Each structure stands twice: as structure tokens, then as C-alpha cells.
Amino acid sequence: MRLSVSVLLLFITACGAIAAELDLNGYMEAKFIFERNCMLCHGVRGDGKGEMAGTLVPQPRSFREGMFKFRTTPFGRLPTDDDLRFTIKHGLTGTAMGAFSKLGDRDITLVMEYVKTFSRRWRKPENFAEPMVLPAKPEWFEDDKEMAVHAASGKALYQLNCLACHGAEADGKGPVASTLKDIWGQASRPSDLRQPHLRCGDRPEDVYRVLATGMNGTPMVSFETVLKPEQRWDIIAYLSTLKLPDGPTLGNAPPRESTNTKADAKP
């Protein structure tokens, strides 16, 4: 009896206001799924200090701060369930976060709700936001001559806004790159933007999304109020001229559904 009461109290304390998606049985099932698939890297407490964490670069995410890099929501806000589901199902290129595509939708939903129990940020309404409405890729991306004009403009914008971290060659070796740290005190190495496969995704729209949302917990802030939409596209056009040749991969994640598509679908 004491054990049952202790488990119940742990459940209530851990889940708090977000327990609506989980009853006690669901919580215990979600805990099992997390321990089986996630604990080795993310740790039993969700602090990113699992058994394998010390061998991994970059380090596994700590869920206790409620900070997530890859989102469709504004800078500083929590990700949507669709954002979390996408990362779990498709993984992150260049990291130990593999694609858990074999997990069923119910299992993914359960583990998402369990992850939310690690941080109190999920209990505060002010941390939530609707996905940002992002524009479609401009048609001029399909015209080589127009692309060249926009890329030339983007080069100057890149040098002004991005070079210090990402470097003159966009290889992630800017003058301040070695000094950058994230909120966890770990080195935060800027991305090599020449690579054909980036953690945020491979499409121009994916890079645009990161410029708009920023990456929570890292020095990569949002440029939503700094750069106009057309300026962001110009920078992306310039980056496309620096891309390295593609190589074989184990498979690419499908395009993330854009928020403007969802908006258009509403009656």
C-alpha cells in the first residue's frame, strides 16, 4: 500500500498541471518507454547525463530547463507537440539522436508527455505559443539569374549578421566561435552551413525557420526583428552557393509541414 501511495504521489508531483494526457497507468507506461529508448543518453532524470552522455558530441539535451532548439514557435517559447513528434520520429542529422521511426504514434505521444514532466516550464501558459506563420520559398529560387542577384545581396548581409559566429566561409569557424557556450555551459559550436544536411533540415525553408525562431538555449538568436523576410531569403540564397557536394545518407526526414499550409487549410 505504501508503495502504491508513493508512486501516486510521484506521479502527481511530476506531472502537475500537464497530467491531463496521462493517467497513472499511462504515466508508468510512458516512463517505461522513456527508460527503454531515451534514458541511456538523456538520463533517468532527463538531465542529459545518461550513461552514454560523456562519449557524445554534441551532448544529449537536458529536458529539465524546458529549452528546445528545433521548433516552429517564437524564440524562447516551448515547442508544439508536432515539433517534438517530428524530432523523435526523424532524429537530428550529425548527432546521436537517431530516428525513432519504429515507435508507434501512441508511444511517441506518451514519451512526449513524460518528457514534459521534467520541467516546470510546461506548467506555465505564458511559455506556450502558436507556430509562426512562415512564408513559402520565393519563386526566384528557380531562376539562376535572379538567384545570383539575391545571393550577391545575401553575401553582404551574411558578413554583417552571421560571419562572427559561422565564419567567412560559413564553415562554423568564425572569430568568436570558440568562445560560444549554451545555457548548460557547454561549448556551442556554430553549424557548418556548407553541409548538405543540417540538423534543422535540408530545405531553404528549414533554414528560414531557424532564422525566424532562433535556437533556444544557444547563442543562435532569432532574427525576426533584425532582418526583413526578403533579407533572410537573400542570405539563404548566398548560402546555397557555398554548399558542399552531397554524400550518401541513411535517409532524409520528409519536409516539415509549414505553418502557412496549415493556415491555408482552415475554413
Across residues 193-207, what is the average pLDDT? 95
- Asked if residue 225 is part of any domain, the answer here is yes
- Asked if residue 177 is part of any domain, the answer here is yes
Is there a single domain that holds both residue 117 and residue 169?
A: no
Question: 230 is in which domain, residue-wise?
Answer: 140-246
Question: pLDDT tens for residues 120-159?
Answer: 999 999 999 999 999 999 999 999 999 999 999 999 999 9
Provide the pLDDT confidence category of residue 256 given band limits of 50, 70 and 90. Answer: low
- Domain with residue 79: its CATH number is 1.10.760.10
- Asked if residue 262 is part of any domain, the answer here is no
Provide the pLDDT confidence category of residue 195 given band limits of 50, 70 and 90. Answer: very high
Q: pLDDT at residue 88 above 70?
A: yes
Domain count along the chain: 2
Is there a single domain that holds both residue 108 and residue 173?
A: no
Is there a single domain that holds both residue 164 and residue 232?
A: yes
Is there a single domain that holds both residue 146 and residue 105?
A: no
Give residue for cell 564553415. 171
Is there a single domain that holds both residue 123 and residue 157?
A: no
Peptide bond into 58 cis (omega under 30): yes
- Asked if residue 174 is part of any domain, the answer here is yes
Quote the CA–CA distance of 114 and 100 in Å, as a whole number. 16
Is there a single domain that holds both residue 104 and residue 168?
A: no
Is there a single domain that holds both residue 164 and residue 119?
A: no
- Asked if residue 55 is part of any domain, the answer here is yes
Percent of the chain with pLDDT over 70: 84
Q: pLDDT at residue 214 above 80?
A: yes
C-alpha cell at 218: 544557444
Is there a single domain that holds both residue 93 and residue 60?
A: yes
- Asked if residue 132 is part of any domain, the answer here is no
Is there a single domain that holds both residue 22 and residue 121?
A: yes
Across residues 101-105, what is the average pLDDT? 95
Question: Can you list the alpha helix ranges (DSSP code H) found in the chain?
Answer: 2-15, 24-37, 39-42, 81-90, 105-116, 144-161, 163-166, 204-213, 229-240, 259-265
Is there a single domain that holds both residue 91 and residue 193?
A: no
Question: pLDDT tens for residues 225-237?
Answer: 999 999 999 999 9
Provide the pLDDT confidence category of residue 260 given band limits of 50, 70 and 90. Answer: very low
Is there a single domain that holds both residue 183 and residue 158?
A: yes
- Asked if residue 33 is part of any domain, the answer here is yes
Which of 100, 127, 154 finishes a domain?
127
Which of 127, 152, 180 finishes a domain?
127
Is there a single domain that holds both residue 97 and residue 176?
A: no
